[in-house]
Amino acid sequence: MGKKKNTDSVIKPKNLSAYTMRNFVDDCYDKYKKQLALKIYDDVTSAVTYADLKYKVDSFSLYLISKGLQKGDKIAILSENMPNWLIGYLGITAIGCIAVPILPEFSPFDVNEILLHSDAKGVIVSAKYIDKCREYIKTKDVILFRINDMFHITSDSFNSSTESSFFKDASGVDTLHKFAKEVISQEETKKKRKTFTNALLQKTAPSEDDIASIIYTSGTTGKPKGVMLTHRNILWNADECADDYVHLSAKNRVLSVLPMSHVYEFTIGQILVLIKGCSIHYLVKPPAATSLIKAFKKVRPHVILTVPLLIEKMYRSSILPQIKGNKRIQPYLKCSFTRNMIYRAIGRKLKTTMGGKIKFYGIGGAPLDEDVEEFLIHSAFPYAKGYGLTETSPMVAGSGPGKQKKGIIGKIVPHEDVVLLDVNSETGIGEIAVKGPNVMKGYYKDPALTEDAFTKDGYFKTGDLGCFDKKGRLQIKGRSKTMILGSGGENIYPEAIEAKFNNQEYVEETLVVPEDGGLVAMIRLNIDSFKENLTMNISDVKTEALNYIKYLKDKVNKDLMKTSRIDKVELQEEPFLRTPTQKIKRFLYQKLHKK
């Protein structure tokens, strides 16, 4: 085993009274009750204070209990980001039920399979995605909630002929207001209301080791798996990272753009920031350039979490042309001092575009391109990196703004124990394995897969390859499942080769896969830019594009070890198929090239 960091025997909460969602809601209420907690960024009427949050969570919990929902029952959530997503989740988990967040990008088939596999007794869904749940709702006796207003839509209102437009306006029971007023009338004193809530807490309160969520992943290797995360897993991870990687205050604003059903966004972008009293502003629409710029100007966020794809696109479309297209600055880029001055000027413009207040631009979910990272470092842009998986709730290692080193993730989260398995004696690279309070309970209904995921002494095998630097910081080298074994037994990491292609002019992205003992690079170009800059007829574009990728093959191969050189290039004309978290579905393309 490689180097490891030992966990302490006793771990106490830093910012919470205990690691349960019920305690989380109550603690946030006690500290920040009058402050804004949640809001859709361009909708004043959607504002939810911390006091409102507790009231609505309590109300929804009461309603679930009144309908016979019990500890351990599963309720799915399928929706775009909005305040009621979090209210629903907390209402479910605060009474020991289990939330099943579903990524909106999942197909109707996948949604139905997840609902069936999880034995969902309830579904909270937006009008936008109701059709994805239709098959399950038609055949199962489930309690259905419209997330837009958290109305319980009864079976009388919803039937087999219902269209999504009907669902949007269907009548139902207001679970956040009307019901709460019936149970806890306005005439009741605050003391009586508190006594009632405490009685609810004693009867239904979850323990720290109870399952809070079952999150279904559909990764780059195919089959979805139901990851069981406990209250402690999620809340401990958020609580620990809140002090170690970022310093936030109750005045800070967060722009939420990633799906809340993804654990990276949920733990770090929701739970962590609420622990610190921040306000979350939701971008309901997909984060396209136009909608993002409007939201940046309106919210002026201090915090945003993204995947690398967003900043990489911004770099290649807006920043790189400024650097390469301006001939006057080219001589100054050769000197590190003047280059940094130029990069910092561009970095200040980038911050201004984002509202001028950014102090934590979190990047996670996939590796960050090294050329992009080099620019971010020299421009003094306040980005942060994190590494983890759904199974680790998610954070395993990271580094905050101003503490970055190119290609290095950063230090291990305190109290987590990280080791390397089957270490290569020459490179120091091994499979990353993790033990700690953040590691999942297992895969739902799959004891065999759970057993296979852990070592005999209890370390979760991530499937990622990495090594430590001299300071004990983690560096990711690739996926063990994507690593290609060369004809001479050498280990080839396709991600490193792909990065070299991606940094060439006109290249949008690349996928390297094995074929007949060699390597194929599937290259997708920005054809519009390629055609415009070379001023050619549309009929000549494909021919010239094929010639160009052959040129790139020869160029990149000069920088690669002999064992990692590309044998063949292909022009990828269609966008690569992706997982809901925007990783390429590598396994599909490996199958296509397998002989």
| pLDDT digit string, tens, across residues 106-125 | 888 889 999 999 999 999 99
- What would the mean pLDDT of 42-65 be, rounded to a whole number? 94
What pLDDT does 220 receive? Answer: 41
Say if residue 554's pLDDT is above 60.
yes
Q: Give the Cα separation of 103 and 101 in Å (integer).
A: 7
187: confidence class by pLDDT, cuts 50, 70, 90: very low
Most confident of 264-278, 360-374, 580-594: 264-278
Using the predicted structure, report yes or no on whether residue 383 has a pLDDT greater than 80: yes
How many C-beta neighbours within 10 Å does residue 416 have? 24
Quick: pLDDT tens for 420-439.
Answer: 999 989 889 999 999 999 99
Average pLDDT for residues 385-392, to the nearest whole number?
Answer: 94
pLDDT at 487: 59
Residue ranges of E strands in 25-164: 36-40, 48-49, 74-78, 98-101, 122-125, 143-146, 151-153
Sign of the CA dihedral with 357 first, then 380, 394, and 225 last: positive
Mean pLDDT value across residues 297-322: 90
Q: What is the enclosing helix (H) or strand (E) of 51?
A: helix 50-66
User: pLDDT higher for 280 or 403?
Assistant: 280
CA nearest 305: which of 360, 354, 246? 360
By CB neighbour count within 10 A (0-12 exposed, 13-18 middle, 19+ buried), where does 288 fall? exposed
SS3 content of the chain, % helix, strand, coil (to 5): 40, 20, 35
For residue 482, what pLDDT is reported? 76
What does the block give as tokens for 525? 């170009």
**Model confidence pLDDT, tens digit, residues 393-413:** 999 999 999 989 999 999 999
The pLDDT score that the predictor gives to residue 201 is 58
- Could you tell me the maximum CA-CA distance found in the chain, to the nearest angstrom? 80
Alpha helices in 130-189 (DSSP H): 130-139, 164-169, 178-183
Distance CA 275, CA 235 (A): 9
User: Is the pLDDT reported for residue 258 higher than 70?
Assistant: yes
Residues 288 and 352: their CA atoms lie apart, in Å, by 18
Mean of the per-residue pLDDT values for the chain?
88
224-235 pLDDT tens trace: 689 999 999 999
Q: Which pLDDT band holds residue 581 (cuts at 50, 70, 90)?
A: low
Task: State pLDDT tens for residues 202-256.
Answer: 678 899 999 999 999 864 444 668 999 999 999 999 999 998 888 899 999 999 9
